[in-house]
Amino acid sequence: MLTVEQIIAAQKAQIATLFDLSDKALASVEKLNELNLQAAKASLNEGANHAQAVMGVKDLQELVALQNAALQPLAEKAASYSRHLYDIATGIGAEFTKLAEAQAADAQKQFVSAVDTAVKNAPQGSESAVAAVKNAVSTATAAMESVQKAVKQATELAEANFNAVTATAVSAGKPTKASKAAA
């Protein structure tokens, strides 16, 4: 049975966790806003520079070359933006995961402690029931560890796939020798 002190300590820990998560979430929002502001400023500056360059064009061939030159770095910029966005999202996801794992481990310790206390106070002849409960707890613990391992592997695979797609998109956006010669 939980004591009043244990309940109060658990509530204090929950409140501290809530504020910690809120602080981390706000920090991620701040990073996202900073990223978007930087992208908007860069886009505005590039647009102004391009407009100035277009005003100085003397013929159609120069205009086509200018347009091609302006379009070439777009894939790299989009990939860079996506990568920063992905880093922000995985950072906050990792923080939440770490906290969830810590909470689960703490809950598991408390449950095992409660089971041990119940076992100590179990009446004579209940050894088979106690063994079944202990077996269920160890099976649940092993299952939880397997799930956590699978989630980590899936996350690593998703990140590797994201990196591969980003690299492919960047290389696809780069001009080939043939397109450079045509320009």
The pLDDT tens digits for 54-98 are: 999 899 999 999 888 888 788 888 888 988 998 999 889 888 888
pLDDT of residue 27 exceeding 90, the answer is yes
Calculate the average pLDDT of the chain. 82
CB 17 within 8 A of CB 107: no
pLDDT at 183: 46
- Domain boundaries in the chain? 4-182
pLDDT tens-digit map of 123-140:
777 778 777 877 887 888
Q: At a CB cut-off of 8 Å and minimum separation 6, what does 103 contact?
A: 17
Cα–Cα dist 62/67, whole Å? 9
pLDDT at 175: 58
pLDDT band at 42 (very low <50, low <70, confident <90, very high): very high
pLDDT at 173: 59
Task: Give percent above pLDDT 90 in the chain.
Answer: 24
Cα–Cα dist 159/122, whole Å? 49
Between 25 and 97, residue with greater pLDDT = 25
Task: Give percent above pLDDT 70 in the chain.
Answer: 91
pLDDT at 39: 94
3: left (phi over 0), alpha (psi -120 to 50) or beta: beta
pLDDT at 180: 53
pLDDT of residue 178 exceeding 60, the answer is no
Cα–Cα dist 157/63, whole Å? 44
Give the pTM: 0.64
pLDDT of residue 182 exceeding 70, the answer is no
pLDDT at 176: 56
pLDDT of residue 174 exceeding 70, the answer is no
